[in-house]
Structure 1
C-alpha cells in the first residue's frame, strides 16, 4: 500500500511539474546561452518559447500577466541532447532518457507496433513525457538475428512503402540483406523520401551502400567489415593500419554521410567478452536499478560473456578513428545503443558516450555537437518536414537543457540537469529527479 501511495504521489508531482509546460509561452530569464551554432556563448539573456518553438533570444517582450517565467539565475541554457541510436520501447525508458536531458531519440530497430505508433505520437504531441521520437524499421535477409526478413526486390519495395505508411522515418539495413534487395530498397526509399541507415551489408559493402544513398553508418566498427582491408587469417582481431583512416574519411565526406559514434558501446562489449564477472558488475552498478526485469534477464544471459575475444587493439583504433573523423569534419552523431547490450542503461549511456569521445581527444564542442547540433542536421537532411532542432535559435524546436555550468568548459554538468524541455513541456530538476525515483521504485518491485 505504501508503494502504491508513493507512486501516486510521484505521478502527481510529475504532472504538477509538467503543467507549466502546457502554457503557450514560456520565458527563460537570466540564462547564459550556448547555442551550438558555433563555439560561443551568449551571456545573461532572455529566451522566449512559444508553442514549443524558440521565438526569440535577447528580446524582452511585453507579455500577458501570468506568463510562466523560468529564472535561470545565471545558469546555462543549451540544446537538449539527442540519442541517435537506441532500442528504447517502454515509457519507463523514455522517462530515463528525459531525466538525463535527452530530448530527441532515434529507435534503431525492433520497436513494438504500439511504440512506433501510439506511444511515438503521444510523446511527440506532448501528452506523455519523453524525448521527441524518430523510428527506423530494420530489415535483414536472414532470420538468425530476429529481424524482419526480406529476400526479393519486390519485398524490399513493399516494405519501404509499408514502413512509411506506419510512421517510420528510416529504413535500417542489416548484415545479411542480399545485394538485390538492398538495391531495390535504396531505390524505393529514395522515391518515398525515407532515408536508409544501418550496418554494413556483407553482399554490398559500405562504399556501394553510401554511393546508393545510405545516409548513416550505424556503428564505427562497421568499417572493420565493410570497408577496411580484411585482417590477417592468423589474427582476425587485428585493427587496420592508421593509414587507412584517411580513405574511410574521404569515402564518408564524398557522400555527405553521417557516422554514429559508439565508442562506449564497443568498449563495453569488448570488456565483457568471455568475462561473466563483467556482466555481473554491470548488473550491480547503481544505474542498473532502473533496468526492466526483462533487460536484467537478457543482460545475465548475454552471449558476449560465453566467448573470449580480445578486442582491445580495435577499441584503441576506434578512438583514433573517431578523433580523426571529428577533426576532418565528418558529421558524427552520438548514440547510446541502450538497453539491449549489457552495461548500457538508457540516458546514462549517452553521457558515457560523450565521455568516451572526450577521452578519445575530441574537444567539448566536438563531443557536444555530436549529441546536439549534428543530430539536428541529420534529421533536417533525412526527414522531410521535420522541425529543426539541435541549436538554440529562433525557429528551432525548443529542445532545451538547463545546467549549472558551461558544458564547453565542464561537460560533466550535463549529467545533472536543472531542467529540460521537450515536446513543449518544461520539467524542472525536482520533476526530473521524481521521474528517476518513480522508475527505480517501480522496478524495485520485481
Structure 2
C-alpha cells in the first residue's frame, strides 16, 4: 500500500464524501466544498497560484483566491499550504468498458476518458449514466463509434456512402459523440462519414485511412488523429534502396505538421503505447513479465488471458527505429504548437493497465523532450479544448477557473516539478464529488478482491 495514502487522513477532512465501488455513494455536499491553503496549478498557462482557496458548488468551480472565505456549511479540505491542486487527467484513447475499469481510472486521478471503439451497449446505456448520477465512481465517459470498410478486424463495416451516413445517424441515436474511422474505409465512405458527422454533430476522429491518407483526411475535416504512428503508415514512410521495408523519412515531417496546423487538428501522442508494443515484439517473455506487474491484480481475468494471446510476441523484426523516429516526430509536433492529447489504448495492449498506463504515457512524453507543462497539458487543458471544438455547448474543463467543471486532483507535490506525484493522488474530485485517498484505496482493494474470487491470482 502506498505510504502517501496512509498519511492522507492527517491532511484531509475525516468525513469522506465518497465510497468504494460496492458502497452506497454519498450525495454531494449541499453547500459546497472548499479547498483551503492549497497551491493551484490552473493549466491555463504555465504558472502556479500559492496558498489559495478553491470553492466548488455542485459540479462547478465558483470561486478562487487567496482571500476567499469558505461558504458557511461547506465541507473543508485543508491542504495546509503543502498540497497541490491541478485539473483532473484525461485518457483520450481507451477501450475499457466496465465499471471496475472506470474505478481504476478514477483512483489514478483520471476524470475523463474517451472510449475509442466497441464499448458495449450495457456500458454506454447503464454504466455511463450510473456514473453521471454518482451511483458508481468513475470519470466522465465520452464515446466514439468505430467504423471500418471491411470486416477484417471485426469492426462495424460500411461499404458505401449511403451506409456511412446511416451509421452516423445510428451512432447519434445511441448517444455516441464521435465517429472513429479505421484503416480500410473507401474514400466515398470516409467523406460521407465526415459530412454526415458534421451535420449531426459527431466529429470524425481515428486512424489513417489507407485509401485516403491522413493529410487529406485532415483537410476534409477529421478532428483528431488517434495515434501519432498513423502518420508513419500513411505519409512518413518511404522505400529505401537495399531495404525490404519502408523507413521513416525525416524530410516529410514539416509537411505532416503543416497539414495538422492548417486544420487546427489534434493528435494523440501515444509514445508509451507504441513503446510497449515494441518491447514485446517478437519477445514472448516480456508478456509474462507484464502479467507479473503489481497493478495487474486490478485487471480482469479475461483481459489477462487476452494479453497472453495477443500475438505481438509472434512477430518478427524490430520496431525500435520507428519508435525512435516517433519520439522525434512528437517532439517536433510539440515544438510547432500542435495540439497533442494523451492516450494509451488500454487495456487492449498487453502491458497497459487502465489508469496506470496514462501516467506511463506522460512519463514517456517527458522523456521525449517535452516540458512538464507541455506534458500535463496533453492530459488536461488540450483535451478540454478538443471537447469544446467537438461541442461548443459542452461544459468547459481541463483548467482550474471559475465556471469550469470541478474535476480536480490533489497531490503531495507540484506536478510541474514532478509528474510522478500524480501517480499517488491525495484525493480526486470528479463532477464536484470528492473521493479521498482512503476511498480510492478501498476501490482498488475491492476490485482486486473481486478478481481473486473470480479465480484470477493476485
TM-score > 0.5, shorter chain as reference: yes
In terms of mean alpha carbon deviation, does 332-341 or 13-22 score higher? 13-22
Q: Which of 228, 233, 237 is 1:225 aligned to? A: 233
2:46 is equivalent to residue 39 of structure 1: yes
The 8 Å contact of residues 55 and 70 in structure 2, kept in 1 or not, is answered as no
The 8 Å contact of residues 264 and 356 in structure 1, kept in 2 or not, is answered as yes
In structure 2, the partner of 1:140 is 148
Q: Which of 424, 433, 437 is 2:441 aligned to? A: 433
1:214-263 C-alpha deviation (Å, 9 max, x unpaired): 00000000001122243337535554232222211111001000000110
Separation in 1 of the partners of 2:20 and 2:389? Answer: 38
In structure 2, the partner of 1:7 is none
Separation in 1 of the partners of 2:305 and 2:242? Answer: 36
In structure 2, the partner of 1:252 is 260
Separation in 2 of the partners of 1:236 and 1:426? Answer: 55
In structure 2, the partner of 1:152 is 160
Separation in 2 of the partners of 1:357 and 1:23? Answer: 40
Q: Which of 27, 42, 57 is 2:64 aligned to? A: 57
In structure 2, the partner of 1:293 is 301
Separation in 2 of the partners of 1:295 and 1:79? Answer: 30
Equivalence map 1:275-314=2 (5 Å): 275-314=283-322
In structure 2, the partner of 1:165 is 173
In structure 2, the partner of 1:411 is 419
Change (3 A) 1:111 1:423: same
Separation in 2 of the partners of 1:231 and 1:393? Answer: 50
Change (3 A) 1:272 1:71: same
Separation in 2 of the partners of 1:162 and 1:233? Answer: 48
Separation in 1 of the partners of 2:56 and 2:295? Answer: 33
TM-superposed deviation, 1:19: 2.4
Query: Which secondary structure does the structure 2 equivalent of 1:444 belong to?
Result: helix
2:184 is equivalent to residue 184 of structure 1: no
TM-superposed deviation, 1:271: 1.1
The 8 Å contact of residues 52 and 398 in structure 1, kept in 2 or not, is answered as yes
Query: Which secondary structure does the structure 2 equivalent of 1:44 belong to?
Result: strand
Separation in 1 of the partners of 2:224 and 2:19? Answer: 41
Change (3 A) 1:87 1:62: closer
| Unaligned residue ranges in structure 2 (runs of 5+) | 1-17
Separation in 1 of the partners of 2:27 and 2:134? Answer: 12
Q: Which of 209, 226, 250 is 2:217 aligned to? A: 209
* Ranges of 4+ aligned residues in structure 1 off by more than 4 Å: 11-18
Separation in 2 of the partners of 1:350 and 1:227? Answer: 27
Query: Which secondary structure does the structure 2 equivalent of 1:69 belong to?
Result: strand
The 8 Å contact of residues 237 and 249 in structure 2, kept in 1 or not, is answered as no
In terms of mean alpha carbon deviation, does 222-231 or 128-137 score higher? 222-231
| Unaligned residue ranges in structure 1 (runs of 5+) | 1-10
Q: Which of 67, 75, 81 is 1:68 aligned to? A: 75
The 8 Å contact of residues 20 and 68 in structure 1, kept in 2 or not, is answered as no
The CA RMSD measured in Å over matched residues stands at: 1.7
TM-superposed deviation, 1:213: 0.5
Change (3 A) 1:436 1:199: same
The 8 Å contact of residues 60 and 431 in structure 2, kept in 1 or not, is answered as no
Q: Which of 324, 342, 367 is 2:375 aligned to? A: 367
State TM-score, norm by structure 2. 0.92
Separation in 1 of the partners of 2:390 and 2:266? Answer: 11
TM-superposed deviation, 1:21: 3.6
In structure 2, the partner of 1:93 is 101
The 8 Å contact of residues 20 and 137 in structure 2, kept in 1 or not, is answered as no
